[in-house]
Amino acid sequence: MTLPLMPKATAVWLIENTALTFQQIADFTGMHALEVQAIADGDVAAGIVGLDPVANGQLTREEIARCETDPAAHLRLAKSDVPVPQTRTKGARYTPVSKRNDRPDGIAWLLRHVPELTDAQIAKLIGSTKDTIKKVRDRSHWNSANIKPRDPVLLGLCSQSDLNAAVVIARRRTGGQPPRMDEGTEGGEPEAGAADAGANDAGADETALPADTAGEQPEGDENPPYARA
């Protein structure tokens, strides 16, 4: 359904200048009849100046007169040369100017902590471009020296729900394998198995007797070989 330009302002004018019903005005402007009634009562849109739809070619006097005589009739929008506002298509997320300098930090955080995300997913989440993501990844970005990985949710670059949804999609594509923890955290953490193995090896080195001393201690040797400094 095509709506008139500035629906509320048009509704204000129709309320003040015609005998149309609230429902007729609501249907024409894409509003609820109760909202139109609230405008008429002065509870809503008190500071809005009415916009004449006849003057801008969206309605004719004849069309208004026809609907005034028949409360069940619906206003028909006249064909006009006035350009109709286009609905914004899906694309890269809009990022406020004040937050655009934070995007490289958010990209670096995603590359480190959620490496299974594709460049397209990161670009959509952060509102950036694949070229910028590539430069952040290979450290060829002009500001690489000052880029610090920071959570894009905390920076206000994306919502937690959008990030979670992107991670779910990415992990389905990669077979559900989560990123390695030692790759996703700064400095990394040793794997539990490797840590245990290292501890066992260390314990073994400290307590195991050399093969040639497993028997009786040689006479005249006050300290066993494994206890020497």
Would 89 be classed as within a structural domain? Answer: no
Q: Which two tokens stand for residue 152?
A: 């894009």
Q: What is the pLDDT of residue 208?
A: 42
The more confidently predicted of residues 24 and 203 is: 24
Would 107 be classed as within a structural domain? Answer: yes
Q: Are 165 and 118 members of one domain?
A: yes
Asked whether 126 and 106 are in contact (CB, 8 A), the reply is yes
Would 135 be classed as within a structural domain? Answer: yes
Would 87 be classed as within a structural domain? Answer: no
Going by the DSSP 8-state scheme, the letter that residue 60 receives in this structure is -
Determine the Cα–Cα distance for residues 50 and 31; give it in Å rounded to an integer: 15
Q: Are 64 and 126 members of one domain?
A: no
Task: Provide the number of structural domains found in the chain.
Answer: 2
Is the pLDDT at 136 greater than 60? The verdict is: yes
pLDDT, mean of residues 165-185 = 68
Q: What is the pLDDT of residue 209?
A: 43
Q: What is the mean pLDDT of the chain?
A: 77
Q: What percent of the chain has pLDDT over 70?
A: 68
Q: Are 59 and 108 members of one domain?
A: no
Q: Are 114 and 158 members of one domain?
A: yes
Q: How far apart are the first and last CA of the chain?
A: 90
Would 215 be classed as within a structural domain? Answer: no
Among 44-53, 105-114, 166-175, 206-215, name the most confident range. Answer: 105-114
Q: Are 102 and 41 members of one domain?
A: no
Is the pLDDT at 222 greater than 70? The verdict is: no
Q: Are 12 and 56 members of one domain?
A: yes
69, 87, 122: which is the final residue of a domain? 69
The more confidently predicted of residues 91 and 127 is: 127
Would 226 be classed as within a structural domain? Answer: no
Determine the Cα–Cα distance for residues 85 and 200; give it in Å rounded to an integer: 70
Q: Are 104 and 177 members of one domain?
A: yes
Would 199 be classed as within a structural domain? Answer: no
Q: Are 43 and 107 members of one domain?
A: no
Q: What is the pLDDT of residue 94?
A: 63
Q: Are 118 and 168 members of one domain?
A: yes
Would 190 be classed as within a structural domain? Answer: no
Helix (H) or strand (E) holding 132: helix 130-137
Helix (H) or strand (E) holding 123: helix 119-126
pLDDT, mean of residues 25-29 = 93
- Which range has the worst mean pLDDT, 28-42, 88-102, 108-122, 139-153? 88-102
Q: Are 179 and 131 members of one domain?
A: yes
Q: Are 110 and 146 members of one domain?
A: yes
Q: Are 119 and 59 members of one domain?
A: no
Domain residues for 57? 7-69
